[in-house]
Structure 1
């Protein structure tokens, strides 16, 4: 008897009168970015339609949009799977992120007002006490986005916004790791201290170290997942 797929999805409700395919797209996209649907996981069109209580057509349309977002891979006659980053993509993403977020932190330190610094400090303090992974990712995203906004450099803001969702998916993974969570809190504190001192050089160095450490964690997590996949294949 074939194993029945069970996805961590909820039935689609009306979302501001959006077309059904758009509602399905948003539901699946959120599940992928939260990690409820894992990289390399195969997505069964019929089963998802049944679980979301919709027809197969909006699911098929949602798959096409997700493929354009580079979140799923559609292979004719083989199906749809959640896309994982290749080692080369991971390196490229974090190399660019380190440079751009580092620049954003430098400019933020040079331009931040006392009110903006206090708001950043409030967000950093809030993260110390958050235990829920999803809430932590939301606050963390606001923290990083605020730094780039304060930088006043539209290119930094636009560039970081382009891959914020991909970064947030990684943040969900790290937010479930208590060790990495504590390290992030400490790293955020160092960034804030440099910004409060209006020390652009120190702020950039602290942010770049923060992103490098995130890369090391991401790379290690990906390698563990790959070894687990290979071990499962050998069984």
Structure 2
């Protein structure tokens, strides 16, 4: 994304008063949601004054929110240059998806070993639901639930905890892929293949199908990051 026009507005919802929640926390949650859903894109510059005006708050809670987002590794604060939505480096992308492939593959293998008929039925139903969803936000929620369910049905709490630790990062990528019709269609088919293997209790096939699914997501993420980088260099 190029330099933001002074007349443009950030895609942010107004901050409503929430009982017992500090204003800085409300601003933080608003900005965090916008970043994780792709409304604020990687490498987009965040203007403290404009955000404060748009959210109808003072600059202080916006500054405090920026500091919390920096701790979350969602924005980069450079003295005298401002605040920018953080983009993953090529090394970070590789590291994240390498871990995802191994851990989610293990989760699928164990799920194929332990899943009950009722649990497999739930996975099949959620796959069917995803084929019918067009709204990006709803797709991400259901997609995330699908992967979380497989982790839980694996019976391995370490798998559940490890995958939960970077679920928000993964969901951010899911939002980006949800706007791509081809990737969305392929993703739904890949989910079906995973559940097919789980239903057969074929542990090897389930793990391989999941690992291929995550690798395909990595390929899409890497290509998308390269496109964004190229656009920025053209500005």
Q: Under a length normalisation based on structure 2, what TM-score does the superposition of the two structures give?
A: 0.96
Shift of 1:3: 2.2
The number of equivalent residue pairs is: 231
Secondary structure of 1:220's counterpart equals: helix
Shift of 1:17: 3.0
What pairs with 1:5-20 in structure 2 (closer than 5 Å)? 5-20=8-23
For the pair 1:211 / 2:214, whether they are aligned, the reply is yes
1:109/1:203 contact within 8 Å kept? yes
Shift of 1:5: 4.6
For the pair 1:120 / 2:123, whether they are aligned, the reply is yes
1:71/1:82 contact within 8 Å kept? yes
Q: Calculate the aligned-residue CA RMSD, in Å.
A: 1.0
Shift of 1:16: 4.6
Secondary structure of 1:99's counterpart equals: helix
Q: Deviations over 1:176-215 (max 9, x none)?
A: 0000000001000000001111111110000000000000
Counterpart CA distance in 1 for 2:125 and 2:77 is 43
Moved over 2 A (4+): 2-5, 14-17
**Partner residue, 1:26:** 29
Selected match of 1:84 from 87, 90, 102: 87
Counterpart CA distance in 2 for 1:216 and 1:207 is 14
**Partner residue, 1:55:** 58
Counterpart CA distance in 1 for 2:142 and 2:19 is 25
For the pair 1:175 / 2:171, whether they are aligned, the reply is no
**Partner residue, 1:166:** 169
Q: Which runs of 5+ in 1 are unaligned?
A: none
Counterpart CA distance in 2 for 1:72 and 1:5 is 20
Counterpart CA distance in 2 for 1:89 and 1:5 is 31
Secondary structure of 1:81's counterpart equals: strand
Q: Deviations over 1:68-94 (max 9, x none)?
A: 110000111111100000000000000
